[in-house]
Structure 1
Amino acid sequence: MFTELCYQTFVRSIADYHLTNDVYGQVNNPYEKTAIEHLLYTKNWIDTVQWHLEDIIRDPKIDPVKALEIKRWIDRSNQERTDMVEYIDSYFLDKYKNVIPQPSASINTESPAWAIDRLSILALKIYHMNEEATRADATEEHRAACQRKLDVLLEQRRDLSTAIEELLEDIQKGRKYMKVYKQMKMYNDPSLNPVLYAQQ
């Protein structure tokens, strides 16, 4: 199943990141650039770095200058994440370009790649919740509470994977059709952000 390929690629990316656990570490994508796994790995690596940036910026003792640097980094990361989702959707648009939608075909609320984006974030939640559920220096109550949350996350993974597989099958059989809108993030565009264009 495609979602299993996605998830295992995400797991590898997360494991590779945690070899150094350093937001400044360089990505070393092990997949061929032409493979969908290359996009999936890069997408999850961006998510993983941003996960840890979100942790860092919440340090109440963080230097304000450092916090602003991290905030700018998170903004760039959000744009990169969006770009990667659009690249993954381009893969699906090409894959299903010869499918003729049925007359009754409908559109989905989100594209396949945005659903896969949620699966990538879910892989990160599962990894870190498992860390907490097995943390040796935590209380038994903490570990038990985190295990309950982990069980829910694993159920979410099963449900989301099923939904993605069903969506891909519906697109392949013409029961649904893809229509991808480019994300128009206005705050990054100097011509659309009033704070930026007022300074020009």
Structure 2
Amino acid sequence: MSFTSTAWDIFSKSVEDYHNNDDIDFPINNPYEKGSLEQLLYAKNWIDTVQWHLEDIIRDENIDPVDALKLKRRIDASNQQRTDLVEYIDSWFLQKYQNITPKPDAKINTETVAWAIDRLSILVLKVYHMNQEATRESASDEHRAKCTEKLNVLLEQKNDLSQGIDFLLEEIEKGNVKIKTYKQMKMYNDESLNPVLYQKSKN
């Protein structure tokens, strides 16, 4: 079984588990061994799934502005958690492949393994929700047909992205691609780098 097939199954389980309650405040119950890659993948998708629904809620035109601000802060925090976990997953792969010496002409990929996995996690959510719309009985035939077309494109994207990730891992293992990561140097959360925050602290 390929890595991406396993990851897709774990992400799908997370999405299904979330929708058993469909509650943004329902606590995660990660079924995998702590510290394992499976546990990290499940936790990653759970963050994505909760944030997906937070993004839905905040787009309600009638939402109370105070509640919207609270949600925005929560989404910001969720984004930071997501970034931190992606970097942690990258560290997991760095350790896994630490004994592989890249060839002198080894290439650098445009994104790290974990950021590619991040896209796969989001894609699981897109497939799940598009399938809901494609089969929603209360929707029109036209709506379901359009959503079915979009679902087919997403499933094609799943195959392409999965092949790309599995190929990347194979190339890393062969020494053809150098595994290298950079920490996300986000500035807007840092009081010493965000002008709005550090100018405010001087007043």
Q: Distance in 1 between matches of 2:191 and 2:142?
A: 50
Q: Structure 1 residue 51: deviation in Å? A: 0.3
Aligned to 2:183: 182
**Deviation beyond 4 Å, 4+ runs, structure 1:** none
The match for 2:112 is 111
CA drift of 1:179 comes to 1.1
Q: Distance in 1 between matches of 2:62 and 2:125?
A: 25
CA distance in 2, matches of 1:166, 1:59: 41
Q: CA separation in 2, counterparts of 1:81 and 1:71?
A: 15
> In the alignment, which residue of structure 1 is the partner of 2:102?
101
Whole-Å separation in 1 of the counterparts to 2:151 and 2:85: 27
Could you say which residue in structure 1 is the equivalent of 2:164? Answer: 163
Look up the equivalent residue of 1:39 and give its one-letter code: L
1:1-200 paired onto structure 2 within 5 Å: 1-200=2-201
Q: d(CA) in 2 for partners of 1:68 and 1:110?
A: 32
TM-score by length of 2: 0.98
* Unmatched segments (≥5 aa) in structure 1: none
Gap regions ≥5 residues in structure 2 = none
Q: CA RMSD in A?
A: 0.5
- C-alpha deviations, 1:8-40, integer Å up to 9, x for none? 000000000001101111111111112101000
Amino acid at match of 1:97: Q
CA drift of 1:103 comes to 1.2
How far apart, in 1, do the equivalents of 2:41 and 2:113 lie? 13
Q: Give the paired residue count.
A: 200
Comparing 25-34 with 63-72, which one deviates more in the overlay? 25-34
Instruction: Give 3-state SS (helix, strand or coil) of 2:200's partner.
Output: coil
Percent identity over the alignment is 64
- 2:11 aligned partner, one-letter code: F
